[in-house]
Amino acid sequence: MSFRSSITIVASPRPRVGKTLVARLLTDFHQGENRKVVSFDLNSGERTLTQFLPQQTVAASVRDVNGQMALFDRLVTDDDTTKIIDLGHESYESFFTLAQQIDFIEEARQRSIAVAILFMVTPDQTSVTAYRNLRDRFPRAMLVPLHNEMLGSAQYRDKYPISGSGALTVKLPALAPGLRKLIDSPPFSFANSNMGSATDVPLDAHIELQRWLRRIYLEFRELDLRLLLADLSSSIRFGS
């Protein structure tokens, strides 16, 4: 088996932990790597992925059968496209329950699509339990803890053990509050060389943002490498 594309699910059962920011960064990262990419927005409320990236994002839902079928059919379509899912906390359990019922991970693998789950780690027991449940429910998916340093220190990381051939932890570096406010205001885009509509960004702030992006993209390239290594490991087992 050789993976030709991937699906990355950015997930947490908790609100306001940075899922949409990570989905935006992933989308722009893959575009910068000259890949076809489409993102799926399973959120409600303000500052959703659709508001930031309307051209690259599909609004999706798992609230009814039609929405479920449309989403999962699109996800497993073998169209050589990288897919990003911004999974809102309201849809978290419904999405993963359905994914388990239809054996989504195995279906994707059979179509040469790798699946990674980026789980936003927080110290609360709800998230710790949810992470462990995902490990049990989807042993063939790459489950990656992601620590958002803007939420504070990560002294609780031992509660999120990594395992498997592609094991790693991803870090989202901290950013100054003023710049965080800037990037959280639609229609700000990381892919825009002028940093979205913010034409009055001082040069030092622009440089700091670029330095921050480089650090994050290094983390994403490492994730890409781990997916490739998992692919090679799967291919060796499949061929033996």
Render pLDDT for 29-81 as a digit per residue (tens, 0 to 9): 999 989 999 999 999 877 799 999 999 999 999 999 999 999 999 999 989 89
Rounded to a whole number of angstroms, the distance between the first and last alpha carbons of the chain is: 12
pLDDT of residue 102: 96
Average pLDDT over residues 9-15: 96
- pLDDT of the residue at 240: 44
Nearest-angstrom CA–CA distance, 236 and 240: 6
For 131, the token pair is 């992470």
Phi-psi category of 199—alpha, beta or left, where left has phi over 0 and alpha has psi -120 to 50? alpha
State the pLDDT at residue 70: 96
What is the DSSP secondary structure assignment for residue 159, as one 8-state letter?
Answer: G
Average pLDDT over residues 172-180: 90
Question: How far is residue 28's CA from residue 100's CA, in Å, rounded to a whole number?
Answer: 29
Single out the residue of 15, 83, 74, 11 nearest to residue 44, CA to CA. 15
Residue type, 44: S
Strand partners, 57: 39
Q: Give the pLDDT confidence score for residue 87 in this predicted structure.
A: 97
Amino acid at 189: S
Q: Which pLDDT belongs to residue 17? A: 95
Task: Specify which residues 36 forms β-bridges with.
Answer: none
Quote the pLDDT of residue 36: 94
Could you tell me how many helices (H) and strands (E) the chain has, helices first? Answer: 8, 7
pLDDT band at 160 (very low <50, low <70, confident <90, very high): very high
CA–CA gap between residue 152 and residue 17 (Å, rounded): 11
Least confident of 65-69, 74-78, 93-97, 203-207: 203-207
Token digits of residue 209: 């943002």
Render the burial of 133-150: b for 16+ CB within 10 Å, e for the rest: ebbeebeebbbbbbbbee
Average pLDDT, rounded, for the chain: 87
- Residues in contact with 12: Cβ distance below 8 Å, sequence separation at least 6, in sequence order: 19, 89, 92, 119, 120, 122, 127, 130
For the question of whether the overall pTM of this predicted structure is more than 0.75, the answer is yes
Predicted confidence at residue 230, as pLDDT, reads 66
Is 122 a residue whose pLDDT tops 90?
yes
For the segment 196-218, the average pLDDT, to the nearest whole number, is: 80
Q: For residue 196, what pLDDT band results from cuts at 50, 70 and 90?
A: very low
Q: How far apart are CA 138 and CA 136, in angstroms?
A: 6
